[in-house]
Amino acid sequence: VGNNKPLFWKLGERQAPLGSALQIKLPETGNAIRIDYQTQPQASGLQWLNPAQTATGQHPFLFSQSQAIHARSWIPLQDTPAVRFTYQARIEVPKKLRAVMSAENKPELSPDGIYLFDMPQPIPSYLMAIAVGDLHHKKISEHVAIYAEKSFIEPAAYEFAKTEDMIKAAEKLYGDYRWGDYDLLVLPPSFPFGGMENPRLSFITPTVIAGDRSLDSLIAHELAHSWSGNLVTNARWCDLWLNEGFTTYIEARLVEAVHGQQRMIMEAALNLQSLQKELAELPEDEQRLSTCEVVLDSEDVFSGVAYDKGRFFLEWMEKQVGRAEFDAFLNQYFDDFAFQSITSKQFLVYLQNKLISRFPEQLPIDTVTQWIYGPGLPDVLYVPVTNRFVVINDNINDWQSGHLALTEIATGQWTTYEWLHFLRALPEPLTQKTMQQLDQVFNFSHSQNSEIAHDWLLLSIRYQYEPAYDRLISYLTSIGRMKLIVPLYKAMMETEGLQQFAKHIYQKARPGYHPLAQQAVDPVIGHPTDKL
């Protein structure tokens, strides 16, 4: 404000889940105001870790998670994906620590603990991000660097070495990457998501560091957001599929370009399995891509529907009109709506003008509308089929019929995705003897792959395979990624005799979980939720 005079302001009553409205009477002159404020210790968009919760155990750590409506908990702004802004920031931290943001980050450690940031491209509030910790820096290619605690730097540099190839593949398909560098911040294990597409600096869970690059599809996903989501944004969270469905589709294209078609198809087949299982449990209103006609909490839209149903819709259109036509359409779409927010209705009008009008027989409007506004999956879905999974099914059948021993199954060249299909395709119910045999031959209880361990632990809970319980405890107390921990708690609470065991583990694990993870698990366990 030009004259530094105090303004009249009022903070309203807190309304869950929206928070408290800050009303300010603006001055008649001037074009800026200053707000002095302080965050609350329990701000839902921040997690403060003590040294013991970090990899080194030496220094505290702070990171933000603003999506969907948590930026408002640590900075006063218009917290909606419909509004964009540029920003500058000056952050002062203890001299041994480094601050990074969703902005231009300098590789040098500041000697005085002061870091200056500039974000010249306009972003929505949910992409506002900050992290502070004992962060090291390693450049791994022309446009990519890793920020992480020291023990994660080299494993992450190896794991994410294909990132530059993914950038080149994405630019070839969808035009220039418009955000400068693309860096990766590996967070402590309590980070509640797989990744967060904060522009210029994607936040990444360490649970994807498997040692064989088999889980780097997550990097393809967060990178893809540089076009779908960060560049063209859903104007409302009820249209989340415009961010996540597009991104999951582009992720698949990047995985195919960098790792080959077979891996892309295997991932698609597993994702379809998960989606079909999820759809069977969701009410019809939550099975639609656009849920704007339904009143949902902004957090409730984050289901496999927005991600995978959205992806299969775009894949159906691609196959109907051909890749060249669909790629050209997406390229123009990203140009026409760059740095803007749109709704499903706007997208449908654009789709009709640019693609449906040219391919009315291939893209019947009734079918397109059914994809967006109808429940479930349309019959026109292209089902991904891979011979690798067919072979695994045959192996399981031969083992079950006594024609093949477990030790004779040729698993030497299996990737994460073959292992996941194997675990999900095992005939149920499984006896204790069978679980023991599987564990002895394949050592599942000691798998260091977070996804394989997760699926094995689900089976161990279902069939109360006690030799895996120590691993279950260490797993749930060492990571906070909601995708991996919430299903395990749900499975325990649904299994007779394991409810108290689940509560015992959660009592130990909860203090180390992010507030969003606590919010997700509390109702499952029956734990009172903290007011955020």
Three-state DSSP state, 23: strand
**CB of 101 closer than 8 Å to CB of 129:** yes
What is the pLDDT confidence band of residue 292, given thresholds at 50, 70 and 90?
Answer: confident
The pLDDT value recorded for residue 364 is 97
The pLDDT value recorded for residue 514 is 85
- Mean pLDDT, the chain, integer: 93
How deeply is 94 buried, as exposed, middle or buried, from its count of CB atoms within 10 A (0-12, 13-18, 19+)? exposed
Q: What's the count of helices (H) and strands (E) in the chain, helices before strands?
A: 18, 15
In SS3 terms, 50-63 reads as: CHHHCCCCCCCEEE
pLDDT for residue 1 is more than 80: no
The pLDDT value recorded for residue 380 is 96
Q: pLDDT for 167-188, tens place per residue?
A: 999 999 999 999 999 999 999 9
The pLDDT value recorded for residue 52 is 81
Distance, in Å, from the CA atom of 390 to the CA atom of 370, rounded to the nearest integer, reads 31
Q: Which domains does the chain have, with CATH numbers?
A: 1-36 (no CATH), 45-211 (3.30.2010.30), 227-373 (1.10.390.10), 428-525 (1.25.40.320)
Candidates 242, 241, 246; CA nearest to 221 is 246
In SS3 terms, 498-513 reads as: CHHHHHHHHHHHHHHC
Q: pLDDT for 400-419, tens place per residue?
A: 999 999 999 999 999 999 99
What is the pLDDT confidence band of residue 296, given thresholds at 50, 70 and 90?
Answer: low
Q: Which of 307, 417, 465, 475 is catalytic?
A: 307
Q: pLDDT for 136-151, tens place per residue?
A: 999 999 999 999 999 9
Measured in degrees and rounded to the nearest 5, phi and psi for residue 270 equal -65, -40
Mean pLDDT of 502-524: 93
Write the DSSP string, 158-180: HHTTTHHHHHHHHHHHH----SS
The pLDDT value recorded for residue 302 is 76
**The two structure tokens encoding residue 270:** 């597993």
Distance, in Å, from the CA atom of 161 to the CA atom of 156, rounded to the nearest integer, reads 8
**CB of 207 closer than 8 Å to CB of 110:** no
Q: pLDDT for 481-496, tens place per residue?
A: 999 999 999 999 999 9
Q: pLDDT for 348-390, tens place per residue?
A: 999 999 999 999 999 999 999 999 999 999 999 999 999 999 9
The pLDDT value recorded for residue 32 is 86
Residues of the chain with pLDDT > 90, as a percent, come to 84
How deeply is 377 buried, as exposed, middle or buried, from its count of CB atoms within 10 A (0-12, 13-18, 19+)? buried
Is 222 catalytic? The answer is yes
Q: Which of 7-16, 98-107, 314-323, 428-437 has the lowest mean pLDDT?
A: 7-16
**The two structure tokens encoding residue 140:** 């791994």
What is the pLDDT confidence band of residue 531, given thresholds at 50, 70 and 90?
Answer: low
What is the pLDDT confidence band of residue 16, given thresholds at 50, 70 and 90?
Answer: confident
Q: pLDDT for 243-258, tens place per residue?
A: 999 999 999 999 999 9
Candidates 511, 454, 530, 451; CA nearest to 488 is 454
**CB of 30 closer than 8 Å to CB of 63:** no
In SS3 terms, 322-377 reads as: CHHHHHHHHHHHHHHCCCEEECHHHHHHHHHHHHHCCCCCCCCHHHHHHHHHCCCC
Q: Which of 149, 159, 222, 244 is catalytic?
A: 222
Mean pLDDT of 270-277: 95
Mean pLDDT of 190-208: 94
Question: What distance lies between CA 130 and its chain's CA centroid?
Answer: 17
Write the DSSP string, 434-469: HHHHHHHHH-GGG---HHHHHHHHHHHHHTT-GGGH
Distance, in Å, from the CA atom of 67 to the CA atom of 64, rounded to the nearest integer, reads 9
Mean pLDDT of 2-6: 74
Mean pLDDT of 281-297: 84
The pLDDT value recorded for residue 68 is 87
Is 307 catalytic? The answer is yes
**The two structure tokens encoding residue 491:** 């499975």
Candidates 275, 213, 208, 216; CA nearest to 454 is 208
The pLDDT value recorded for residue 297 is 61
Three-state DSSP state, 4: coil
The pLDDT value recorded for residue 2 is 52
The pLDDT value recorded for residue 57 is 81
Distance, in Å, from the CA atom of 199 to the CA atom of 166, rounded to the nearest integer, reads 16
Place of tokens 């450690």: 109
